[in-house]
Structure 1
Amino acid sequence: MLMRSTSSTILAALLAASLFSGCNKEKAPATAPTTTTTTSAEPTPDTVVATFGDGQKITFGELNDRIKEPLANLEKQKYQLRKQGIEGFVVEKLVQAEAKKRNLTEEQLIKAEVDDKIPQPPEEELKKMYEEAKDRLPPGTTYEQVKPQIVDFLSGSKKQERAREFFNELKKTANVQITLPEPPKPPVERKQVAATGAAKGPDSAPITIVEFSDFQCPFCSRANETVDQVLKAYPDKIRLVFRHFPLEFHQQAPKASEASLCAQDQGKFWEMHDKLFANQKALEVPALKGYAKELGLDTGKFDKCLDSGEKGSIVQTDLADGKKAGVNGTPAFFINGILISGAQPFDEFKSVIDAELQPKK
């Protein structure tokens, strides 16, 4: 492996993920549009862009008014991509400079400041995870064979957290200032979304976040870490409500949602929630029943609940309510009714939450 590849991989994982990432029926382009130094002037609002019938016409202004929301989102997306690109570029330069200053390679610097500062999980924890997953592994797979992968899985998020801390230390020392101008913010639009479902946080919290999610969507799994970060940053200020939005092309997602609701009947919704997101490639009904056993649920009650399909109506109600509120992909978050779509970074949540916590004039 090239020395540069390790640091580049970490930077890519932390700073180059799509800020507007989410599970959606429509595929995103494989590459972002190439930015050029020249731009074509837009037509004036009264420019006719379509004619039909007996002299009827549509102007450029009318077109823009009809699609003003997606156009505003596109401008925001362009800003986020550029901001992310700047932050990644800056961190890459800072890592290079710090490595040179210490007479280390970038790989050696990352190892010293990230990998070496994360202790290996205890042997008991590693063996426990192996025992829990053993039934789903290929026959004959030994503990020693999968131990490295278990270590990587358990320590991966801690390494990412430590990497962020290290990069922030470098940015603070270098007094990094991002001065990219933001696009004009459109007027705040609030949707009426019922906060019904499994919840975390006090009922009296000033901020309610209603999350529409899909257990088979990888972007929903990615968003989990950000949601946890938000809850930790605003203790007692946020009530999080989880609602189900299984997408039609995720065939195992509806039953996974039902499994979480069956677990909720036994007081373990969030434990099942975490288990499902950690095992997105194994959401068949036998696997779901296996997770119930691992979580210590009454498997007789759970299996009966899951097999009966009795929770399907709740999932369908959530799905219908999400569509009514404008959800067309997952994850989607309504912060006091304000939509944040996709696996957004912490700063996106913070911006909306801080504004909501400001005294109303």
Structure 2
Amino acid sequence: MATTTQTQTLAKMKRWFAAACLIPIGFMSGQLMAEPAFKINGKAYTVEDLARDHQGKFYEIEQKRYELISDLAREKYLDEFWQGLADKGKVSVEKARNDYIDSRTKVSDGEIKEAMDQFKDYPALKDKSDAEKKKMITDYLKSKKAQDVFQSILSEGIAKKQLEIQYPEPKEPVFKLAITDADPVKYGPNAKDTKPMGCNGNACPITIIEYSEFQCPFCERVQPTVKRIMKDYQGKIRWAVRDFPLGFHNRAKPAAIAAHCAKDQGKYWEMYEELFKNQKNLGDADFKKYAQTIGLDVKKFDECVANPAKKIEIIDNNTRSGEKVGVTGTPAYFVNGRRLSGALPYEEFKKVIDSELAKK
């Protein structure tokens, strides 16, 4: 099973690579940076010109290339490993591989019983006979052990320098992102912490820019972590938010408009918290209710929401700025320009923040 999955993954990556190679890559090397890209009305553009404004997209391509080469190297190493066993045992490659894996993936009755107890309520096992459950569990355990076998072979090959990935792993760029007047900023864990606390503006050693949207469950999930960060690093940090509404969330942009209309009255963060607390209730009537809850002038709020052109321009600009630095989903964070993606635990943020503070 593992071999089939690996083959399918590699096939998919090869198809992607075939398309990706149409784009100049390797942009981090000086030689390719100077390569010509295209001309418009006689004006020449180099790869460097494009990479300057689209660092994230170029990095993603180069990272995919590195991953593809690494996967192909591992696949080739495993092929030669199985061939070596076959030559030694004077059997077919398939038999050599199967015998090697089977001898290392035996599953005991105790392991099966423990797994069946662990997964007894798993939906896939519902309405299955005991024999079918046992077979499914056994196949699952063998598959896991097979993965460990492959990894062990590869790790040993790397340790003995029989397998060496020589293609350089690309280094993710530090993105240059500047806070603008349109960005809501706070300096502490509470909604009212919008005044500098210990540091001011660019004097803050840590600046975090968040790309998120109010309908994203992962963005909501990370909120307690954000508050903890802002509390623990208060006096050293400022936090800004930029909109990145996803196309399949139809209430994300209206919610962002409501938040920016609240910003006009100095209460962006209060609305931000209300919207995340009530993710399943993002209708127009809900926005008006939240405006009342946080103490906005509701008439002014309604007028702002009814005429959203300027707010939409801000939101669209935020989205474009995120796309330029490689944001494709939410949440995404930039800690002094270093990108972190997803609803990460506190420890992942702390590691990057502490390393940035150490530089200072």
- Write the deviation string for residues 66-116 of structure 1: whole angstroms up to 9, x where unpaired: 854257799xxxxxxxxxxxxxxxxxxxxxxxxxxxxxxxxxxxxxxxxxx
Q: Tell me which residue corresponds to 1:325.
A: 325
Cα distance in 1 between the residues matched to 2:169 and 2:233: 24
Cα separation, partners in 2 of 1:272 and 1:69, compared to 1, 3 Å? same
Alignment of 1:203-282 (within 5 A): 203=201, 204-282=203-281
Q: Tell me which residue corresponds to 2:336.
A: 336
Cα distance in 1 between the residues matched to 2:344 and 2:18: 40
Q: Tell me which residue corresponds to 1:312.
A: 312
- Write the deviation string for residues 153-207 of structure 1: whole angstroms up to 9, x where unpaired: xxxxxxxxxxxxxxxxxxxxxxxxxxxxxxx996352112232300012322101
Alignment of 1:15-94 (within 5 A): 67-70=61-64
Tell me, what secondary structure is at the counterpart of 2:359?
A: coil
Cα separation, partners in 2 of 1:304 and 1:251, compared to 1, 3 Å? same
Q: Which amino acid aligns with 1:232?
A: K
Q: Tell me which residue corresponds to 2:171.
A: 187
Cα separation, partners in 2 of 1:71 and 1:228, compared to 1, 3 Å? farther
Cα separation, partners in 2 of 1:213 and 1:207, compared to 1, 3 Å? same
Check the 8 A contact 2:332/2:342 in 1, yes or no: yes
Number of equivalences: 209
Which stretches of structure 1, 4 residues or longer, exceed 4 Å deviation after superposition?
49-52, 65-68, 70-74
Quote how far apart the aligned CAs of 1:327 are: 0.5
Cα distance in 1 between the residues matched to 2:346 and 2:259: 26
Cα separation, partners in 2 of 1:261 and 1:50, compared to 1, 3 Å? closer
Cα distance in 2 between the residues matched to 1:288 and 1:235: 30
Cα separation, partners in 2 of 1:210 and 1:326, compared to 1, 3 Å? same
Cα separation, partners in 2 of 1:325 and 1:50, compared to 1, 3 Å? closer
Cα distance in 2 between the residues matched to 1:50 and 1:72: 11
Cα distance in 1 between the residues matched to 2:67 and 2:18: 28
TM-score by length of 1: 0.51
Cα distance in 2 between the residues matched to 1:208 and 1:70: 29
Name which one, 1 or 2, has greater alpha-carbon Rg: 2
Tell me, what secondary structure is at the counterpart of 1:330?
A: coil
Cα distance in 2 between the residues matched to 1:235 and 1:356: 15
Q: Tell me which residue corresponds to 2:302.
A: 303
Tell me, what secondary structure is at the counterpart of 1:296?
A: coil
- Write the deviation string for residues 195-232 of structure 1: whole angstroms up to 9, x where unpaired: 23000123221010000110000000011111111111
State the superposition RMSD in angstroms. 3.9
Check the 8 A contact 2:17/2:65 in 1, yes or no: no
TM-score by length of 2: 0.51
More helix by share: 2
Cα distance in 1 between the residues matched to 2:18 and 2:63: 24
Check the 8 A contact 2:60/2:326 in 1, yes or no: no
Quote how far apart the aligned CAs of 1:359 are: 3.3
Cα distance in 1 between the residues matched to 2:17 and 2:341: 32
Cα distance in 2 between the residues matched to 1:323 and 1:343: 19
Which of 1 and 2 has higher RCO (CA within 8 Å, sep 6+)? 1
Cα distance in 1 between the residues matched to 2:17 and 2:292: 62
Q: Tell me which residue corresponds to 2:105.
A: none
Cα separation, partners in 2 of 1:72 and 1:213, compared to 1, 3 Å? farther
Cα separation, partners in 2 of 1:294 and 1:191, compared to 1, 3 Å? same
- Write the deviation string for residues 224-273 of structure 1: whole angstroms up to 9, x where unpaired: 11111111121111110111111111111101001011101111111100
Quote how far apart the aligned CAs of 1:311 are: 1.1
Quote how far apart the aligned CAs of 1:342 are: 0.7
